[in-house]
Structure 1
Amino acid sequence: MNIGQAAAASGVSAKMIRYYESIGLIPKTVRTEAGYRVYSGSDVATLGFIRRARDLGFSVERIAELVALWRDRDRASTDVKRIALEHVESLERKARELQEMAATLSHLAEHCHGDGRPECPIIEGLQTGHEAELLDIRSTLHFGSVGLRSARRTTAQKMVRN
C-alpha cells in the first residue's frame, strides 16, 4: 500500500510516517520505480503500535525502545514494565505540577477584584518578579497539601501587599 493508505490504516499522518522513517523509528520502505513508498501489513502494524504509544505520551526515544522490545520475542517483560512504570511516574509528576499551577492561579484569581481597577495580584506578581515564588510552590509538595495551601496563601499575601 502507498503512504496515504498506510496513514489511513494506522492513524499516523503521512508526514509523521516520513519523519519516523527519517529518524529510523521505522525502517526505510521499499520504493517503486517511480519512487513511491510501499508499506506492508507489518509496517502498518508497527505504525499503529507507535501511534498508540504516542497517544499514551511516550517520547520518541522510549517508543524506539518499546518497538525494539515488541519485535524481540525473547524479551523480558520486566524491561517493558520498567519503561511503563517510569513513564507513569513522569506523567504523575507532570499532572501534579499542572495541578499546582492551576491551584496557584485559581488562588490568585480569587484575590483579583476583576473590576475596573488596575490592581491585580496576578499581573502585579508577574511584573514584580514574584513568579519565582509561584514556581517555588512546587517544592512544597514534599510537605503535603497543608504545606502547599500555606505556601500559596503566603505567596498571595506577599503579592497583595506589594
Structure 2
Amino acid sequence: MVHEENGFLEYLDLQGDLPDQVTKSELLAQVREAGFSLSDRQLTFYVTEGLVPRSVRVGTRAGTYPVSVVWLMKWILQARDAGVSIEALKELLPVWKFLIRAQRDELLDIGGLESVARQHVTSYEASLGVPRVVSYVLMRACCPTCRGKIRVVYKDGTERSLNDADATIGFAIARTPTDDADDAAAGTPQWWASARIALSIPSNHSTDPTTVILGVKPNEALPPDPSDHPGHNQASTEEEEHM
C-alpha cells in the first residue's frame, strides 16, 4: 500500500484488518466519550497543523476518517493536557505510528523504535516525551490480553513478552552543549538523562512498594487500582483517565 504523507491511506493501514471508518461527528463523539474535550474548530486546527489527516469522501457518505484517527486524537489530547507543544507532537508522531504498527503486528523491535526516534525526535522536549508515548500506546491503551501477544525484541536479539515481569525499556538522552563556546565539551555529545520503564503493569499501584505515586497530596484518597481489563485501541472508550 502506498502511504501518503500523514494521509488517509496510512491511517487505514495502521488499523490492520479493521475496516472501520468514522464521520467527523462520530469522531468527535467517541473522543468526547473518552473524557476529552474536542470541538470542530480544534479538530480543524490539528488537521491544518498536519497532525491529523484530512477526511475522505467514501461513496455516498460524508467525509470519513479511519477509526485509527480516533486513537490518534486521544493520544494528541492527553499529550496536550500534559503540556506537550505542537512542535514536539509533530516530532513524536512517527514514534506513535511505529508503536501502533508494533501493536498491530504484535512485535516491538527496540532497534526499530530507536531508529525512528533518532531520525525524527530532535528537541529535548520531544526526547523526554518518547517514554510517555511508549507507556501510553503499549500500556494504557492496550489491554492485558493484547499486551500478552506482543513480543519485545531487544537490540541483542533476545525476546520477552510485553507482560513478562522483567520486560523493560531503557531510554538515554544525549545532548550536545552549545551555550558556552569556551567549554571544552562544547560540540561533543554528552549523556544528559536516562530512565527505564517496566512494560508489565502492576495492578496494585496503591500498595506496590516500588511505585512512586504522583498527582495527589499525601492526605488525599488514592484512585482505585487499575482493573484487569483496561480498554485497548480497537474497542475502548473506557481507557484509564489520561495522565
Task: Give the TM-score normalised by structure 1.
Answer: 0.44
Taking structure 2 as the reference length, the TM-score comes to 0.31
Structure with bigger gyration radius: 1
Q: Which one has the bigger strand percentage?
A: 2
